Structure 1
C-alpha cells in the first residue's frame, strides 16, 4: 500500500525473509517495495543505517527490533524524518517501557524529582518516572489476539499516562467475522488505602449465595433509580488508578452510564477514586490525596470487567443518592439499601401478593423509604407511610378487589 498506492520509496529490512519473501523471489504482497536481506542477525543495526545512507527511503519496514543497538539505529533513522514500521516483542506497551534495551523506542524513561507543591498537586511521590525524550514511533498497536488489536494513536501520551499511574487512551479493534470489523473506540476523557475503612471493596457488596438472585433484582432497581436521578445532574468525575482506562470505559458502556460518568486525570476534581487494590496499597500519596480531598476510594482485587462493573455500580448507587464519601451522618450504606429492598421484596412475594394481606416494614429513613416505594410500585402495589421519625415506616397494601 505504501509503495504502490502512496508512491513512496519503501525499504524492507528482514533478517529471515519473513516479510519480503523467500530467496530471490519477492513476495507479491510487498508490491514495489525493495528488500535488504541481513546476512547476520547481529548486524541488523548496521544494515538499517546502510539502507538509509545508500537508498534514501521514505519508509523502512523492520521485521523485529530486539536489541539496544537496533533500537538506537531506529531512533537515529526516525530523527532523519524517515517513517518507520517495526515490531517489538512484549505483552503490553508497559513491558516495552520497562525493557531497558527497547525503552528508547518509546522515548526512554528517567527519574525526576518534583517540588513539594507540584507533588501535592499531582498527588504523587516527589520522585517520579517521566519520559526522557520524543518517542521513535508516533503510534503503537498491541496485538491482543488474532482477532483483537489495541491501537494507541499517540504513543507519547500513552507512555506519559502509564508513567504517571493513569490508564492510557486506546482504540480496540475486533474482527467479528472474516471481513467484518468492529471498532470500540475510547471516548476522549480527562482523565492507597491508609485505613481499611476508607476503602470500599467490591466484595462488600456481595450477598450470600442463597440471595444472589435477589441481589441482582435489588441491584438493578438501585441502578435504575440512580440513572433517573442523574439525568439532570452533572456527571460523576472518576479518577482511575492502576486499571486500564479502556476496561473502565467498557464497564461504563456496559452499564449504559457513559453520560453519567466522566474520567478525570486530576484527583482534586474527582468525586470518587477507582483503583486496583494491589497498586493502591503501594502508593501512599494517592491515598493521602484522596483523604485530603474527602474522596471515597473504591478498590477491585482484579482488573476483570466483572469486578470493574460491580465497583462502578456501587459508586454510582452511592453518588445517585447523595453519598459523596460516606463521611456524613445522612449517608446510608449500600448494604442498608439492599437489606431494605430485600425486606420489601420478601413481603411482596410471600405475603402481600399470595395472601392479599398488608405488611408493615421496619422503620427506615426517608431516603430508604423512597427507594422502597419506587421498588414496590414496580409490582403495581400501593403503600402508606405510618408513624413519625424515627419510627416512620411503610405499610404495603394488597390489590383491592
Structure 2
C-alpha cells in the first residue's frame, strides 16, 4: 500500500499573526483551518477565505481598510519585482496588487505546505535520472511536487540537488531554506528575468547532479534548460501549459519537446503518405525525456518517452499516455500507455508467428490517409495491419485516381507480385465498405448501432477518468444521435464537429 500523503503546515500561526485581529479571531475558530488555501484582502471589500472547493466572503467582518493592508505589509519581507513576498523560513506566499501610484491595495496570502508522499506515485521516474517536465493548471500542486522531488532526491537518493528558486516559492522566504526540500541547496534569483543565468550558474559553479526549476516560460530559460540537459545534469521543472498540446502550439516553449519545422515532401512521398506536400516534423531531440500532466491532484498522465507522443500528435494519430491514479485507500491504479500496449501486442504476435500469419493480413496503403485507415481498422476490429514496406504486404490498397497502366502504384505491385485493390476514394465510407467486404463483416443496422453505442460508452468512461474531451470515429447522422444519447446518460456534454463524410462526435466534461 502506498504511504498516506502527509501535509505539514506547522507555521500557520506566523501568517495568521499578520492578519487584522478580527480576521485572525475568525480563522482560529474554524474547524477545518488545516484545509485553508488562501486569504484574500482587497481595499474596500470584505475579506475572503478560500478552500479547495468553496469560498467564504466574510461580510460580517466589514470592509478592508488601507490600515488593515499596511498592517500586513509592514510585517512581511520586501516585495520583489514580481510583487511577491514571504515570511522567513516558511512556505507562505503573499502577493500584492498595486494601483497606478504603486500603492498596495490588495493582497493574496497563499498557505504553503510541505506535503510528503506526493512523489511516491512517480518516484520510479524521478529517480531514473530522466529529465522531467510537469504541466498543469495553476494551483494544482506543481510547486509542491518540485519541493517533494528535491527532498526525495537529496535525502533518499543521496544526490546533489540545487533548487533555482525565483520567487522563493519552493524553499520559502529568507536565507535559510525550508526543511521541506531536504538536503537540497537553494539558489535565490534577484529578479524573474535573471532566472536563466542563475540556472547556468548553478551548473557551472556548483556541480549538481540535479537542477530543479519552477515555471520555465521564456526563450532564454528554454535555451538554458537545453544547455543543462546536454551537460548530463538531470533537470526537473514545470512550465506554463495545461497539457502536451499547449507546448506544441507555443513557439517559445516548443523547443522543450524538440522544436518543430515545416518539411516539403516530393510528389511521390506525399502520395505514399496520403498527406499534403507540406508537413510539420519534430526538429530535434526533446530537452525533457518525460512530460507529466497533473490532471488532478491524484491523477497523473505520463508521456514517456515524450518524443514518441509528440511524433504521433504531429501525424494526427495521438496515442493515449500512461495514467496513474491514487485511490482512496492509498493504492495506485496504473493504466498502461497505448505505446506500451502496442509493444506488448507486438511481443505476443512475434511469439505466435504461425497463428498471426494465418489470420492477420498486411496492407501497404498508397495515396490513402493512414490515420483514416487505422481509425476504420480500430472501429471494425478487422484483422489487418498497416505496413510501411511493400515487400511485407499481403496486398496494396489505393484509390482509383492513383491507378492506370503506367502509374507508379501499378508498377510497384507488378514488380513485387503483390495484389492491388482499388477503392473509389479515401473517404471513410469507401474504406469501411472495402474492409467489410474483404473480411465478410456483417453490416446490419443492429451491429452498426451496437458498435456506435460501445464506442460512445468507452469514450465516456475515458472522459470521466481523464477529465478531457474525446473524439469518436466519423458516423452517419442517425448513429451520431444515438451516441449523443449515450453521452447524455453519462451526464456529459457532446457536440458534432467536422463536415460530412468526416462529421463525428466530441464528448467532453460538464463545466
TM-score norm. by structure 2 comes to 0.42
Aligned length: 252
Preserved contact between residue 240 and residue 263 of structure 1 (Cα < 8 Å): no
- Pairing 1:72–2:215 present: no
Which residue of the partner structure matches residue 156 of structure 1?
307
Preserved contact between residue 327 and residue 333 of structure 2 (Cα < 8 Å): yes
Quickly say closer, same or farther: Cα 1:338–1:137, change in 2 above 3 A.
closer
> What's the secondary structure of 1:18's corresponding residue?
coil
Quickly say closer, same or farther: Cα 1:33–1:94, change in 2 above 3 A.
same
Which residue of the partner structure matches residue 239 of structure 2?
88
Bigger relative contact order (CA 8 A; separation at least 6)? 1
Q: Distance in 2 between matches of 1:168 and 1:13?
A: 33
Which segments of 5 or more consecutive residues in structure 2 lack a partner in the other structure? 1-151, 345-355, 364-368, 396-420, 450-511
Q: Distance in 2 between matches of 1:92 and 1:159?
A: 12
- The Cα RMSD (Å) is 4.3
> What's the secondary structure of 2:295's corresponding residue?
strand
1:188 counterpart (323, 341, 345): 341
Preserved contact between residue 303 and residue 322 of structure 2 (Cα < 8 Å): yes
Preserved contact between residue 298 and residue 326 of structure 2 (Cα < 8 Å): yes
Deviation of the 1:94 alpha carbon: 1.6
1:48 counterpart (190, 199, 212): 199
CA deviations over 1:23-76 (Å, ceiling 9, x no partner)? 234232321110011120111111111111111211100011011111111111
Deviation of the 1:179 alpha carbon: 1.9
- Pairing 1:101–2:252 present: yes
Which residue of the partner structure matches residue 210 of structure 2?
59
Preserved contact between residue 261 and residue 283 of structure 2 (Cα < 8 Å): yes
Deviation of the 1:100 alpha carbon: 0.8
Which residue of the partner structure matches residue 443 of structure 2?
333
Q: Distance in 1 between matches of 2:448 and 2:317?
A: 33
Quickly say closer, same or farther: Cα 1:237–1:87, change in 2 above 3 A.
farther
Quickly say closer, same or farther: Cα 1:162–1:36, change in 2 above 3 A.
same
> What's the secondary structure of 1:161's corresponding residue?
helix
Preserved contact between residue 274 and residue 370 of structure 2 (Cα < 8 Å): no
Deviation of the 1:138 alpha carbon: 0.9
Deviation of the 1:114 alpha carbon: 1.6
Preserved contact between residue 51 and residue 57 of structure 1 (Cα < 8 Å): yes
Quickly say closer, same or farther: Cα 1:104–1:291, change in 2 above 3 A.
farther
CA deviations over 1:190-210 (Å, ceiling 9, x no partner)? 79xxxxxxxxxxxxxxxxxxx
Which residue of the partner structure matches residue 115 of structure 1?
266
- Pairing 1:125–2:276 present: yes
Deviation of the 1:113 alpha carbon: 1.1
TM-score norm. by structure 1 comes to 0.53
Q: Distance in 1 between matches of 2:171 and 2:427?
A: 56
Matches within 5 A, 1:298-313: none
Preserved contact between residue 257 and residue 306 of structure 2 (Cα < 8 Å): yes
Which segments of 5 or more consecutive residues in structure 1 lack a partner in the other structure? 192-230, 272-289, 300-314, 340-401
Preserved contact between residue 264 and residue 270 of structure 1 (Cα < 8 Å): no
1:173 counterpart (320, 324, 336): 324
CA deviations over 1:369-401 (Å, ceiling 9, x no partner)? xxxxxxxxxxxxxxxxxxxxxxxxxxxxxxxxx
